Structure 1
Amino acid sequence: MVRPLNIAFVHPDLGIGGAERLVVDAAISLQKRGHRVAIYTMHHDISHCFAETRDGTLDVRVGGNWLVPRSIGGRLYILCTILRSLMLARQVANDAEKYDALFVDQLSAPIPLLKYTGAHIFFYCHFPDYLLARRDSLWQKLYRAPFDLLEEFTTGEADEIVVNSRFTQETFRMAFPHLGKIPKVLTPALNFETYDRPVDNDDPLLRALRTQKHIVLSINRFERKKDIALALKAFALCLNEKSKRIAANTCLLVLAGGWDPRVVENTQYLNELDAQAKQLGLCTRTIAPSRASKEARSLLPEGTISAPTVFDDDDDDGDDDASKAEQMALVDVLFLPSFSENQRAFLLSVARCVVYTPTNEHLGIVPLESMYMRVPVVAVNSGGPRETIQHGVTGYLCEPTADEFAAAISKLLSMKDDRWQAMGDAGHDRVKITFGLDSFGAKLEQLIVGMLQRPTRASVVLGVLMTLFIICTVGLTLLLTWWL
């Protein structure tokens, strides 16, 4: 019998991405096992988060965001993020509560300061950050160099390091050769209760999503590294009259994903995708997030509509419901930025297939969600999806080319219902047996208890260096902010 532990999670931005889903599920699993849990984060928008973080299920505490901006003149994101994480670490350390363990993920920079809380540090590495950063110029390489070194040595200060897949484990070993550590693998799980909840069919946000067409669904943040353009190109090939893969106007591509108006790349990439779709001859429409401000809506593609009023008679645009329905029937690609959980549940309940386009994705929670919801997945044959998707059984693994993706999508769209349902059932069974939250929670608890049996030691040198780093860089950041 494990004694109840006091555990805090330290996570940068509590939004609706895969990393956030992991943190929420991990916290819930430990809470269900009798442990006391709190989550510290730098940003928590109740209109853009998972229900468990806003309905009182989890104790969420926000801090570290009052002094340092998210960026300086649209640049220096990593510097500002690290500074904000250090300010958050200061809040954790100053809290009256004493924790047995701290679950830290994504950012390793605050670990040396967090160790002064006396708690053991459990670091969950989704993927080495320095491998995700661009270095297209000498300036970028010089700028990133100290942060890359900082990431490696602060990661090494954790008492336990865990990664999300065997792919990430091997990448970690090659990325951090100086550490000489091989992290353990703890594959994320799904909280089945979340996905078993019935869809609220009275939700007005579902109006524009109801269609007689087959839905091809993509769920990913609007970031260029996710290569959502691959889904567009493949879908355009499917509709190409010469290819004769599927009949025209019988399917709809829904591109849903995390979209934050504060993130420049999110807004730019969504507009780029809309323009690219139109160049491919596809008719597009974007549905604005339900609580988007006027300023946020101005950043969305031209012609964006509001979901609750798509077919409302009281609109003042002069079109009646029949006219609007006809217009929506002509849409080939529907963009759904910052969707709600009910919209996600609805789409996964009606989709014919899910396309997952990132190459060398460290794991990918979307394929697991899709398979559990009995939707076959088409994904790139690399990274984490190779460990979750069974080719030809629960979906298809393809090379990242539009032609291969189009062939797999067409196969699923034209597949007989009994064969398609068999693939969906196989995916559901695989996830239920292999990726359950109970098993995940037991393994996580075991790892944390094992970590607590070993002594923890705070590095005085790194602690002093991090303190100096905070003082110097906060001053520099404020100076640059004023100057720019």
Structure 2
Amino acid sequence: MVRVLFLHPDLGIGGAERLVVDAALALKERGHAVSFLTNHHDSTHCFKETADGSFPVQIVGDWLPRKLFGRFYAICAYVRMIYAAFYASFFMPERKQVDVVICDLISVCVPILRLARHRPRVLFYCHYPDQLLSIREGLLKRLYRTPLNWLEEQTIGQADKVLVNSKFTLRVFQDTFRRLQVVPDVLYPSLHTQYFDQMERKLEQRSALLDEPVHPRVPRNSFIYLDINRYERKKNHALALHSLNLLRDLLPLPDFKRCRLIIAGGYDTRCTENVEHFAELEQITADLHLEEHVVLLRSPTDEEKCNLLYSAHCLLYTPENEHFGIVPLEGMYFCKPVVALNSGGPTETVVHSSTGFLCENQDKSFAGAMHQLFTDEGLRSKMGEQGRKRVQQKFSFGAFADRLNEIVQELLANKKDE
């Protein structure tokens, strides 16, 4: 048994959080002792496994500010993570000391973890270079980011092992951190399919007993396009709205009246962008006169999300150059064809014209795929079946758990050799 600690900034709801929770489940199933240390954890805004007692979760440093004067989010996040790393290294009780620390998102904690007396092995999972996630505007922003970018590169290089989530991210990593000699391994995220199987059986039984709509504003005979992603501008939800508006011109009016777009996104009132962008999408919906056809949902629970995936006819995935994207895998596992942009991680998960469509970042391209899926039920069914098979064959949870377990064991073996 290996004692594994996951060090993560905020255990909320998002792709990064889903990855670390699934990684924790994988290692727990392999017999390891797993726990979480985080700066923030809200039991009403998180994945259920972090709130139902599946894992011990300890919160440190939540009293530190998340921003200063409405700005400086990055440096505050770095300070909060440094505080957590010092706690893990020097103040965590002996009985809670660990063999391996798995951290992600913020690498500044890595050298501090290496200073601990018991010297755990440190694994850093790079979802995407942090410096590329912030839009640098103007001289002051570039000056502010320069030392943080330097720190990111230097501290990632001190990890005992670095993983990335896709071949796309690997290329970006190597182009961004040119001074590093590190060559990360690719470990694709996976789905905890056992949970999805349980939910699918539950939903099938319920639908056999109850003839209820997925949402009060969605009639039973609706054709549902589903868009799942956080309420952030880079997630490009507006593309789905404009594509739906264009679809109105491609379908006969009676058919379009059946169409519904459900956008279900992570929403945190502490995040200004979440609040602002939700209001922006409401305004776009009103400007396009699509109020009858669009439902905006905030932070659906795991069960609600599964119900949406089960009830939808196809999944829309709108971010451009997304580093991986777990949602297309979820859609394919629920036998839904996926319409995604032809860039980033989805090019490694979605097979064009087989499990869905890879489109250009234009409403015309997206609307064309949406129209084809609406009019061809046989194509939808075939793509759905092929999508589920692809997840089972290429992104199985068992293979993910086995590989992660091997990596953890190798880290400890290398420590003994040293």
Compute the TM-score of the two structures, normalised by the length of structure 1. Answer: 0.80
Whether the aligned pair in 1 keeps the contact of 2:356 and 2:383 (CA below 8 Å) is yes
Q: Distance in 2 between matches of 1:109 and 1:276?
A: 39
The AA in structure 1 aligned to 2:352 is H
1:307-346 equivalence runs, <5 A = 331-346=292-307
Gaps of 5+ in 1: 284-330, 457-484
Pick the aligned partner of 2:69 from 55, 67, 73.
73
**Contact 2:230–2:266 (CA under 8 A) maintained in structure 1:** yes
Counterpart of 1:442, as a letter, is D
Which residue identity does 2:136 align to in structure 1?
R
Deviations 1:238-276 (A, max 9, x none): 013x77598331110001110100000000011011111
Give the Cα–Cα distance (whole angstroms) in 1 for the partners of residues 256 and 393 of structure 2.
Answer: 39
Higher gyration radius (CA): 1
State which of 343, 347, 351 in structure 2 corresponds to 1:382: 343
Q: Distance in 1 between matches of 2:16 and 2:271?
A: 17
- CA 1:268 to 1:85, structure 2 compared with 1: closer, same or farther past 3 Å? same
Among candidates 248, 252, 255, match of residue 247 of structure 1: 255
Say yes or no: does 1:17 pair with 2:25. Answer: no
Distance in 2 (alpha carbons) for counterparts of 1:115 and 1:10: 14
What percent of counterpart residues are identical?
41
Residue in 2 that maps onto 1:102: 101
- Counterpart code for 1:184: D
Aligned match for 2:368, one of 389, 394, 407: 407
Separation in 2, partners of 1:80, 1:244: 52
SS at match of 2:268: coil
Q: 1:455 Cα deviation (Å)? A: 4.3
Distance 1:266 1:205, change over 3 A: farther
* Aligned pair partner of 2:81 in 75, 78, 85: 85
Name the structure 2 match of 1:322: none
Are the counterparts in 2 of residues 163 and 184 from structure 1 also a CA contact under 8 Å?
yes
Q: Which residue is 1:443 aligned to?
A: 403
SS at match of 1:247: helix
Distance 1:8 1:224 in 2: 32
**2:153 aligned partner, one-letter code:** E
Partner of 1:189: 190
Task: Please report how far the alpha carbon of residue 210 of structure 1 lies from its aligned counterpart in structure 2 after TM superposition.
Answer: 4.7
Paired letter, 2:152: E
Contact 1:239 1:246 in 2 (8 A): no
Question: What residue number does 2:126 align with?
Answer: 125
Contact 1:64 1:86 in 2 (8 A): no
Following TM superposition, by how much is the alpha carbon of 1:206 offset from its aligned partner in structure 2, in angstroms? 5.1
Cα distance in 1, alignment partners of residues 51 and 244 from structure 2? 37
Partner of 1:461: none
Structure 1 205/86 Cα, relative in aligned 2: closer, same or farther at 3 Å?
Answer: farther
User: Structure 1's 153 and 207: CA in aligned 2 closer, same or farther, altered over 3 A?
Assistant: same
Deviations 1:288-345 (A, max 9, x none): xxxxxxxxxxxxxxxxxxxxxxxxxxxxxxxxxxxxxxxxxxx211000111112111
Asked if residue 360 in structure 1 is aligned to residue 321 in structure 2, the reply is yes
In 2: Cα distance, 1:403 partner to 1:339 partner: 29
**Contact 2:373-2:379 at 8 Å conserved across structures:** no
Shift of 1:73: 2.2
Deviation at 1:209, TM superposition (A): 5.8
Unaligned segments of structure 2, at least 5 residues: none
Question: CA RMSD of the aligned region, Å?
Answer: 2.0
CA contact (8 A) 1:25 1:189 kept: yes
The residue aligned with 1:215 is 224
- SS of equivalent to 2:5: strand
